[in-house]
Chain A
């Protein structure tokens, strides 16, 4: 493809505009400018033929809010527009999005190759829970494309990693892993929770599927639990020959062959018509509304998150009581150059660091903070802190912790939207207290 820029594309709305408007028309019934919360389980059929046609996917529309809902659809279309994707499905949580993606692609006997640098909940699902249902995962070092390639088996159906690992803040080289995926005719799914489309679009970098925990930066205020599953629409399920759920008749929907029904949206069709229908982990309309409110200010918020995180990272890196700081903004980080290439606007409001004095110092530090909230979440307007080895990642053994870049004394920060000077003052006081 010619990327010389010799041809001028027509002007399309800027992502900042999409964040506010994409996927929404003023409400046709009332003219409401804000997205109405369609708090209803079901939708009335005008006649029997329309009811039958809606059920049989002969006409598009809403039937039952487990399958689709007008408020939730605005969120799905907005994230699809922001990601440059064919469509999306909103789910009850980020974990539900990960589960929905995997169960749409494979069943018993399937295999996943995943980055070892994962959120603890995702690691748990892959390592323990899905294994119980016959789906195995091999964890590999995220920075080594050859390790990904070597781990692929005939049964492999998915490559998976986080755009920026939580909490180790290592940067996934999406173009490099996407090249491995494409050469093996496998889809690459990226969890872009930490980066959000405000910082980069994984599909443009070569990923095929994207998931988000919308609980985090997308909603941005720590008030909801929600997930999103996004499909770029470009993976060749038929050519791959490895995805009978999409290319062979499905008895659960009158023999529908999803890849024939929709070339670009076969995956999302199956996910909605099977996984969302049968597992039922759908998003509530009120939740979608709150996430939409968050997304309207996402570009503004991410810029502030990133700016303050850089200041905090620099402050900690210069502090004599801090052994190591993990953040790609710092030249000492192994992914510094990669992060600059993939995320020129910055890549993470999460950072982790290790205090001199290890676990005990870390404990005293966390308990001495007053502005940072000690809790299990990231991506809030409020700054957050946690000790991963004893909380979010406590089920992992020492080897898995090390592979995920977590030491016994690692402290994770999620930098919020407070004034950076106040955050640094709080950190300074707590570090001082930790040394007593």
Chain B
């Protein structure tokens, strides 16, 4: 579904059902150089079970045109503007990886718009290694290899997929390789530079769920645990998966979301 956000077209997948602003809303925010389709399973299920969902394509990603936003703060302002453009008072905001930082920052800047906060595969700060940033800067295929190798549990390529017939590595790498040149570099730079105020995090009031992958190589579980410990009342759920837990363990992630969202 198309919206106009900050004056430009913006796309959000609505889970195979028409968007209904009267229903409780969930906004899903993807990670670096990905798009809405990382939420394929969770967003479609929840859209058919009492929620209206907006799995967004951030600017410059997927079907949303424009340049990628340079900072997590700008992305968060865009998400708040999308909630506004969709005619919603507020929404639960669920983010993965870079998207978890965007969700967190949206909650910090616009607490009245965020009813519930879900941070999946998260770490704050989210330092990105220099070799990864350099490979992305030079548009090297090695950057795609790094994203796919570190973005999944180590054994994913040598295991059965939760999605019959799908190669999690292959699908993920294909999605990354479809991103426009420069998008991965911009996104990694935004993650690396993000420095939220610890005091502000400790002052968050909305119900929060942190989902950490026990085999996450990108944002290790201990980083998720540490962030969960800082957010008052935050619930921590660990998943037996790597960083891309929505596709590595789609049912477990959905279960955790259902339990938390009520």
Interface set of A (CB-CB < 8 Å, partner B): 1-4, 6-13, 17-18, 21-25, 53, 56-62, 68-70, 72-74, 76-77, 80-81, 83-90, 232-234, 236, 238, 254-256, 260-265, 268, 272
Chain B residues whose C-beta falls within 8 Å of the C-beta of A56 in the assembled complex: 16, 44, 48
CA distance A272 to B165 in the complex (A): 10
Given contacts A238-B63, A263-B35, contact A1 B44 (CB under 8 A): no
Size band of the interface chain B makes with A: 35 or more
Chain A facing B: main interface SS = loop
Is B114 interfacial (CB-CB < 8 Å)? no
Q: Which residues of B contact A11 (CB under 8 A)?
A: 149
Question: CA–CA, A265 to B141, complex, Å?
Answer: 21
Report the bound CA distance from A21 to B254 in whole Å.
Answer: 28
- Chain B residues with CB under 8 A of A74: 160
The answer to whether A6 touches B161 (Cβ under 8 A) is no
Asked if B166 and A87 sit within 8 Å, CB to CB, the answer is yes
Q: Mark B144-163, 1 if CB is under 8 A from A, else 0.
A: 01100110000001111111
When the two chains form their complex, are residues A59 and B45 in contact, meaning their CB atoms are under 8 A apart?
A: yes
CB interface residues, B 211-262, toward A, < 8 Å = 250-251, 254
CA distance in complex: A8, B159 (Å) = 25
B174: A residues at CB distance < 8 A: 85-86, 232-234, 264
- What is the CB-to-nearest-CB distance from B253 to chain A, in angstroms, rounded to a whole number? 11
Query: Which residue of the partner chain B has the closest CB to A255?
Result: B16
Contact B13 A260 (CB under 8 A): yes
A86 adjacent to B167 (CB under 8 Å)? yes
Give 1 or 0 for each of B167-184: 1 = CB within 8 Å of chain A CB: 101110111011001000
Q: Does B37 contact A (CB under 8 A)?
A: yes
Contacts A22-B157, A25-B160; is A264 near B175 (CB within 8 Å)?
Answer: yes
> Which applies to chain B's interface (DSSP): helix, strand, loop or mixed?
helix
Looking at the assembled complex, report how far the CB atom of B146 sits from the nearest CB atom of chain A, in whole angstroms: 6
The answer on a CB contact under 8 Å between A1 and B139 is: yes
Q: B134 — nearest CB in chain A belongs to which residue?
A: A7
In the complex, the answer to whether B44 meets A263 with C-beta atoms within 8 Å is no
Q: What residues of A have a CB within 8 angstroms of the CB of B35 in the complex? A: 263
The verdict on A68 contacting B165 (CB below 8 Å), with A17-B158, A25-B159 known, is: yes
Residues of B close to A10: CB separation below 8 A: 145-146, 149-150
- A285 to chain B minimum Cβ distance, whole angstroms, is 12
What residues on B are CB-neighbors of A25 within 8 Å?
Answer: 159-160
In the bound complex, what is the Cα–Cα distance between A17 and B37 (angstroms)? 30
**Contact B149 A12, beta carbon cutoff 8 Å:** yes
Measured in the bound complex, the distance between the Cα atoms of B124 and A204 in whole Å is: 36
Known contacts A8-B142, A13-B158, A59-B250; A262/B167 CB under 8 A: no
The 6 closest A-B pairs by CB, nearest first: A233-B174, A9-B145, A7-B142, A80-B167, A58-B45, A7-B135
Chain B 108-145, CB within 8 Å of chain A: the 1/0 string? 00000000000000000000000100110011111101
List the A residue with the shortest CB-CB distance to B155: A25
Given A23-B160, A59-B41, A264-B175, are A84 and B48 also a contact pair (CB < 8 Å)?
A: no
| 7 A-B residue pairs with CB within 8 Å | A4-B140, A7-B143, A13-B158, A25-B159, A58-B48, A233-B174, A263-B62
